């Protein structure tokens, strides 16, 4: 089964929201994939931020059970695709885990918008979290055809 991991810094804001959106989109299309998230600087077991939980709940999703996890080499190696929220995160990931065979792209690259990063709303207002959700949703929707192509390619190869 195809596996994608969405990555940000703490795995309490952007990547949990991205995980929800990607999972919803793939489920709605009947695509079978494992979707998860992790953070480059995450502390294992932290909850999603209260604003992220509110934004998700406001859109009919639930992050109340989310627990952050640190991005490890094992998480990377178990994934078919790792998607970071920023180019800086992609660079740090590749530097820390050089030699990993898993493909790493930014969400902007997946969406065909190289150079577009998803701003970190951590510590910001509810409006900033809503704007972040909308930006992630926009980029996921743009990148969905490419993600579906990868899922189908993996399925065909299996």
Catalytic residues: 8, 14, 120
In contact, 146 and 27? CB cutoff 8 Å: no
Q: Which residue has the tokens 């089964």?
A: 1
Question: 10-30 burial, b if ≥16 CB within 10 A, otherwise e?
Answer: bbbbbbbbbbbbbbbbbeeee
Q: How far apart are CA 125 and CA 31, in angstroms?
A: 34
Q: How far apart are CA 7 and CA 71, in angstroms?
A: 8
Q: How far apart are CA 57 and CA 156, in angstroms?
A: 36
């Amino acid at each position: 089964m195809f596996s994608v991991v969405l990555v940000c810094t703490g795995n309490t804001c952007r990547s949990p929201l991205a995980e929800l959106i990607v999972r919803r989109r793939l489920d709605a299309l009947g695509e079978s994939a494992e979707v998860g998230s992790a953070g480059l600087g995450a502390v294992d077991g932290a909850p999603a931020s209260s604003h992220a939980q509110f934004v998700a709940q406001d859109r009919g999703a639930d992050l109340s059970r989310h627990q952050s996890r640190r991005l490890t080499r094992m998480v990377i190696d178990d994934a078919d695709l790792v998607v970071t929220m920023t180019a800086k995160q992609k660079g740090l990931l590749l530097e820390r885990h050089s030699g990993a065979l898993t493909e790493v792209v930014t969400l902007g690259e997946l969406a065909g918008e190289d150079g577009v990063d998803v701003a970190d709303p951590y510590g910001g207002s509810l409006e900033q979290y809503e704007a972040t959700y909308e930006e992630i949703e926009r980029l996921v929707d743009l990148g969905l055809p490419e993600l579906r192509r990868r899922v189908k390619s993996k399925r065909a190869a299996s």
